[in-house]
Structure 1
Amino acid sequence: MLKRSIQEWLVLAICAVFVVTVVPAAIFRIATADWVLAVIDVVWAGSMAFLFVYTFRTRRTTLPATMMAWIFLALTLSAIHYTGLHQVNWLYPVILAMFFLLDVKQALLLSVLSVCWVIAQAYSEQPLEETTNLAKSLTTTIVLASAFSLFSRMEQSRLQHLAGVDALTGAGNRRAKIDKLQSLVSLYFRCHVNACILKVDIDQFSQVNDKHGRVLGDQVLFSLAQIIRNNTRPTDTLYRSGGAEFFVVAENTALGDATSLAVKLREIIGCTVFPGGTHLTVSIGVAKLAKLEGSQDWINRAERALTKAKAKGRNRVEVAAELNDDQVQPSS
């Protein structure tokens, strides 16, 4: 059984709460012949029940969330228009729900327009003091809801970023690398956009740790990551896959250009004096993505090229041969 996302549980919970809350109210409206509110409540409960089933079965949340927000707002404003301002209390939870369910800009626009309409209605129906208090409370609700929503989204983005970053070097981590390579495989399948990977490994890095200690070794890794970033394009991305191994992912790059980049990096790193007066060399394996090749097969070819460079004496660049379409087995 697949685990449901937080978004799914949120949509399902909101639907369930409103169905449980509104159905008894609808029954009461029907029993008291309050037909306008009865119709609104029935439509409301039916819509929430439909969206609950839709989300539960399809596991999709974008369309249900958008529909839910619009339904909430439309039915609440209809109730206020047809039965009076005593229904305005429903607008407060609806505003909060919109900021949970919609983009912040869209929720803010709809909330402001709705409050302006309600205040215009209130201005013609009740004393100015009551209208002013209503405007203050609704405005405060919008401000707090928008601030909380923005903060939550910023925090979520920050955590997502940290989840894909290697804490020592600032490069992407193994998880981010896998996601990136899978997206490039999909892009190549759809649009045939070239991509290459360079697997970079520090030669005999264990000797640096043994001689100078792990603290200086970590400083060397950080410096190496900085050098690679400073000598690649903004569109190239760097990942650390563990130990002294790094991956450079070069998008929209031919094999010849990727090889030239690998040679340049090897030469620059070989001429650099690292912390503690350390000198390093690197071996690099280069592989170009082939049609119908999976991300792991692509990585394996780069690793074999790197192994070949190590076997030939280190401080080398080796390139995996380009594969023809008939040489690649479709990834299962």
Structure 2
Amino acid sequence: MHEYLQKLMDQRQMRSNYNQMMQQALKDPQVQTFLNENADALASDAIEKGAAKIYEFVSERDKIAAGQQPFAPGYRPQLLVSNRLIDITYVPTEAKVAADEAREEANLVTAINMPKSIANASLRTYDFTNRTQALLMANDFYLAQISDPKAFHQGLFLTGPFGVGKTYLLGAIANDLAKQGQATTLLHYPTFTVDMKNAIGQNQVTPMLNRVKNAPILMLDDIGAESISPWIRDDVLGVILQYRMQEELPTFFSSNKTMDELAGFLAGNDRGDDEAVKAQRIMQRIRFLSQEVVVGGENRRLGNQ
């Protein structure tokens, strides 16, 4: 008998606590606003039937505000009217929306063997000291590309000494384009040439070549620093540039060499022969695809870009 009475009292206490919590939930300002705004759309017994939904809304919202683990992490509760009754749905929080957008932007930039320092690069924060012309031309390309992405726009051939911010500027252009939904592939060209040679034994030359040559926007960093190889020059770089010239795909380069110096470099081979004609074919494609611009200033590799 005692156990029965205790159980009955517990049930009454639970019912009392539930009623108290429901009264508090119904007095919640956001709940009151929802009920007032939807009074005409709700059935007469909507509050009674939707009591659990109202309590869930207030409870989950308060968990999020208190920094506790909610029912659906990354989503916030929202009351709605469904068939004249009260229901609840979950919509992404502002933080989740921002994180998803950042993830999508990051996925649009494919950086292969590139420094981590370019991850947050932006044209807005690029130090233009001794690099005004390069920044202006980068901005011109960015504006032209986002206004008419289907048209052909020449990329840039960034030339200048080691550490003046050429790679960082490429990253800034790529990141800003990603914010506009445009995909870019950046790769460290000397490392890429080594990877291509290694791909021969793995029968992966064609897939690797196709991934690079088909990139919507391609940036070849540090061209001219690779080991001289007629195969790389003619059958890799030549194929990539020929395809991109025919398809009129935006292409960028960075180099410690000027275009004229790069032509001389490409004319050599591992046997010491002069292959100027083959080098000029490559340079014709580079000049078609890009405009040369000097990036000046001091070596900033250890400082801000």
**TM-score (normalised: structure 1):** 0.24
Structure scoring higher RCO (CA < 8 A, sep ≥ 6) equals 2
**TM-score (normalised: structure 2):** 0.26
- Larger helix share, 1 or 2: 1
